[in-house]
Amino acid sequence: MALHDLIPNAIGNLGSLFQTLLPWTGIAVPVLLGLAAVRRSRTAAVAALAPAAVWVVLFGGELTDKGAGGGDLTVISHNVDEGNRDPAGTARTLAAADADVLALEELPADSVDVYERALARAYPHHAVRGGVGLWSRYPLRDVAEVPILPWTRAIRATADTPRGPVALYVAHLASVRVHPAAGFTTGRRNASARSLAAVLRAEPLPRVVLMGDFNGTPRDTALAPVFSTLRSVQREAGDGFGFTWPAAFPMVRIDDIRVKGITPRSSWTLPATGSDHLPVAASLRL
């Protein structure tokens, strides 16, 4: 646990796979304590405190509520799931959350009009490119695709908020799979992350919000090119781990919101919709 960033990815990307599930390594502690009780070994019980201490150092800060008031921009990011059987219901749930900006990923082409109709009243400004889209209360300009993959999985736009322009990015990095022979297949995802990071480094506006499904967790060092230059709203202003997938029993946080030049005030997940992901939300101070 302590040296997770030194686990190599040379064989099956084991480092990234371990880091994806890193919070769950804490399960080892009660298992070890149980074995110590069975053996009636005080030494084993004391030894089990070592991984417990490491886990607390790594994750203890994420278990407290760090949220606060004072935000003036609320954003939501949601992978709506191309297999979603109730896109209209999902759109109504998102509209009821009363955010200023919605970033949607995995939009099916045959359901885009459903979201457009359901969100039109609350969000007069929107832009959709490929399977990703932005809906905003504030005018959007300079909308452009961000080339992270051969097909469109990311866009950028400038939102003219009452407190000035903000660069909005919505991204859906390439999917990953776990195969018995190939291991954790992350090559295409990692390449799309590097491409996105290059665009973010060149962003001229000082205030940036990145929202999306990154198919990886904040602890995965393979995603450091993107995450290292942006502040995590969940880590700075969240309450708990904020796991988002799978929605039925969330185990990992692969949906995230990151910012630059902006102060996170609170971060939370919304209840399940018809998607296999939970929406993530954040209140930001511009």
pLDDT tens for 86-134 read 999 999 999 999 999 999 999 999 999 999 999 999 999 999 999 999 9
Q: Output the average pLDDT for the chain.
A: 96
Both 121 and 48 in one domain: the answer is: no
Model confidence at 189, in pLDDT bands (50, 70, 90)?
very high
Both 33 and 130 in one domain: the answer is: no
Report the predicted TM-score, pTM, of the whole model to 2 decimal places: 0.94
pLDDT value of residue 182: 80
Q: How far is CA 227 from CA 67, 106, 160, 243, 257, in A?
A: 21, 21, 25, 17, 10
Q: Which amino acid belongs to residue 114?
A: V
Domain count, the chain: 2
Burial class (CB in 10 A: 0-12, 13-18, 19+), 198: middle
Got the DSSP string for 47-100? HHHHHHHHHHHHHGGGGSB---S--SEEEEEEE--TT-S-HHHHHHHHHHTT-S
pLDDT tens for 239-256 read 999 999 999 999 999 999
pLDDT tens for 167-178 read 999 999 999 998
Domain containing 19 equals: 4-63
pLDDT value of residue 180: 81
pLDDT value of residue 10: 87
Does pLDDT of 181 surpass 80? no
Both 54 and 81 in one domain: the answer is: no
| Rg (alpha carbons) of the chain, rounded to whole number | 20
Instruction: Indicate whether 68 belongs to any domain.
Output: no
Beta strands in the chain (DSSP E): 73-79, 101-105, 125-129, 132-136, 140-145, 154-161, 164-172, 177-179, 183-185, 208-213, 231-232, 255-260, 263-269, 280-285
Both 129 and 271 in one domain: the answer is: yes
pLDDT value of residue 215: 97
Number of residues written out for the chain: 286
Model confidence at 217, in pLDDT bands (50, 70, 90)?
very high
pLDDT value of residue 198: 97
Does pLDDT of 27 surpass 80? yes
Both 233 and 100 in one domain: the answer is: yes
